[in-house]
Structure 1
């Protein structure tokens, strides 16, 4: 019997040792021939405690991300940081040609996204942006059903992503997610970026948007000062959009929705049926369709369908496969991150200028380069 060759070992460096780092390490630990060789955080104590807690053994610790990225013992970088350092870390990864996975949103601002994409175009590098809901089995199944014509021509999509941790009764204090200088936008970039990606993933590109942003709670207790801090980002984002194929979209997101846990859900309406998915029910897809082709159009059946096992794929597995050279069509790439940030920019402009913004009003680096030639 021929032995199966062991896959190439991938040595990972992790930047940012907050709460999500432990979750990513847990998933990485299940993968074959993957080893964490370096960790980085601006807090030296966090570096020491993290290394000790997860039992990494011999691991190099850094408080400077550039040192980790340039380390010859690091093959790929996992960046789990606040938004204001995404740009610098990814720029450094491109300089040292280190494949990466970065958290969403791609960058804090569109200007940063534009510049990263401009650097990427002449010398592409494999990278993943953390749009984790592409790895919800029901979302992947829905995508295939829609592309296969199961609900006919798609006419509209409704997307909402609701959480509740920002409501007054929880007395949530100031943190970086409430500071524009660090985060860029509030609920829009934090949760809305996932909504935009889910729509792009299942339906297609955005063509135009109109939007409304609102801040419900403008002052919050500030642990740093002992007083109050000013919230200068949105608590709520709502927008309507036109997507590829003339599909109409309605979107809302809030971190102040009482009773919501982590509720990202989509309803996609087509001429032949409707599909509903919810990240809180990852193994189930709801399909509303005629009972048979001969039925009266008003006679329908609502089926809660179990997702086939083939749609199971872990995000960390896809990341490691990417580093090894296997890049799946569904992988959220650097280009997806850039296009997502472009849509977020259009939404922010639409809300600020109180008008519909066409995506064509936001020129990409590719368009800028064509115009220069």
Structure 2
């Protein structure tokens, strides 16, 4: 790149955790600059955040509508916007920027209903805009290598998938009022119709889809409410049938004491298996039917060169969440730059979670709700 791209952010003001993570990930490759923002519904917070980030106050806005409209009219308008607000606002904010011709990166879940997600997909395609969703875990180097191993047939045809995303942060009674920054997640007026499945279950669905390319045919879900009986789910067990007749089970939970942020999977095929855990993100456990299991690290000679070329730190060093997130952003930013130069994007350029992935995530949430609300029946995907 001869010139940095520019972006703005909606949400992520002072006191925000996820906004800071996005900014750190974006800064890692040095290809973009934050120049505008509406960081909070409280304009005072926006001003404080903007000053701390050394932004021009003329590009600090009272709300996202003003930001989208004014930025779209500038000769130096932002190349994309990052949306890091609670779930119920994603649709309106993304719609406003898409209507004003600005590319979008949105936090997951994409929206609070499947219909909203489909509308955003249609609008992005109509206006020829790039739209990414922050499923950051697919950015890990060894996840990308696992995808190559599955695609190459190393473990044969996938028979069974076991995946979990379990954490303990809601294991408190009562939860309301204990963690004010997070309690909105269990409020249906803000979070939507689901908490646990929409918050972290969609990561499981997206990760398995990315690595295996399996398509869900049907599912059977039980969504539990252990902490707040009159609010939203905090634990879910989901049986899955895929379109190639293979099977899977997903467990996603926010009440598992002793687990901080445990995302993992096992993919079991006719010739072997692959296992991975975010807590040991540098390693894959590869087993094949004709030889002892191996632990493959990021520094292994067998890891593809094009994956190694994207390393921030050499293979012998531990890769973390921000680096994985940065890889997603790097792909997204490169695609925006290429299109800005008038070049045609190839499928390999769109190697980041797209609005289509966001739509699939919302379909997953709604199908889990449909199944669970009927007592755990099988529903077609």
If the length of structure 2 is used for normalisation, what is the TM-score? Answer: 0.82
Question: Shift of the alpha carbon at 1:331?
Answer: 1.3
The equivalent of 1:217 in structure 2 is 227
Question: Shift of the alpha carbon at 1:126?
Answer: 0.7
The equivalent of 1:26 in structure 2 is 24
Determine the C-alpha separation between the residues in 1 that align with 2:144 and 2:164.
18
The equivalent of 1:315 in structure 2 is 328
Does structure 1 residue 182 correspond to structure 2 residue 190? yes
Determine the C-alpha separation between the residues in 2 that align with 1:136 and 1:191.
17
Assess if the C-alpha contact under 8 Å between 1:134 and 1:330 holds in 2.
no
Determine the C-alpha separation between the residues in 1 that align with 2:59 and 2:167.
37
Determine the C-alpha separation between the residues in 2 that align with 1:59 and 1:152.
57
Match of 1:163 among 162, 167, 171: 167
Deviates more, 1:98-107 or 1:323-332: 323-332
Identify if the C-alpha distance between structure 1 residues 68 and 255 changes in structure 2 by more than 3 Å, giving closer, same or farther: same
Determine the C-alpha separation between the residues in 2 that align with 1:188 and 1:278.
19
Q: For the aligned residues, what is the CA RMSD? A: 2.0
Does structure 1 residue 302 correspond to structure 2 residue 293? yes
1:39-78 → structure 2 map (5 Å cutoff): 39-40=37-38, 41-56=40-55, 60-70=59-69, 71=71, 72=74, 73-78=77-82
The equivalent of 1:3 in structure 2 is none
Assess if the C-alpha contact under 8 Å between 2:124 and 2:131 holds in 1.
no
The equivalent of 1:296 in structure 2 is none
1:130-169 → structure 2 map (5 Å cutoff): 130-168=134-172
Q: Secondary structure at the match of 2:6?
A: strand
The equivalent of 2:99 in structure 1 is 95
Measured against aligned partners, the alpha-carbon deviations of 1:82-104 in whole angstroms (never above 9, x if no partner) come to: 00011101111221121110000
The equivalent of 2:243 in structure 1 is 244
Determine the C-alpha separation between the residues in 2 that align with 1:142 and 1:170.
40
Assess if the C-alpha contact under 8 Å between 2:332 and 2:350 holds in 1.
no
Assess if the C-alpha contact under 8 Å between 1:350 and 1:357 holds in 2.
yes
Name stretches of at least 5 consecutive residues in structure 1 with no aligned partner: 1-5, 220-230, 293-299, 360-373
Deviates more, 1:44-53 or 1:128-137: 44-53
Measured against aligned partners, the alpha-carbon deviations of 1:26-85 in whole angstroms (never above 9, x if no partner) come to: 222233342211011212222122223333466621121122223133221011110001
Q: Secondary structure at the match of 1:74?
A: coil
Does structure 1 residue 194 correspond to structure 2 residue 203? yes
Q: Secondary structure at the match of 1:350?
A: helix
Q: Secondary structure at the match of 2:210?
A: helix
Deviates more, 1:167-176 or 1:108-117: 167-176
The equivalent of 1:370 in structure 2 is none
If the length of structure 1 is used for normalisation, what is the TM-score? Answer: 0.84
Identify if the C-alpha distance between structure 1 residues 306 and 61 changes in structure 2 by more than 3 Å, giving closer, same or farther: same
Q: Secondary structure at the match of 1:35?
A: strand
Does structure 1 residue 356 correspond to structure 2 residue 378? yes
The equivalent of 2:115 in structure 1 is 111
Assess if the C-alpha contact under 8 Å between 1:7 and 1:32 holds in 2.
no
The equivalent of 2:341 in structure 1 is none
Name stretches of at least 5 consecutive residues in structure 2 with no aligned partner: 312-323, 339-344
Measured against aligned partners, the alpha-carbon deviations of 1:108-164 in whole angstroms (never above 9, x if no partner) come to: 122322332343454442110010011012211111100011101110100100111
Q: Secondary structure at the match of 2:231?
A: coil
The equivalent of 2:318 in structure 1 is none
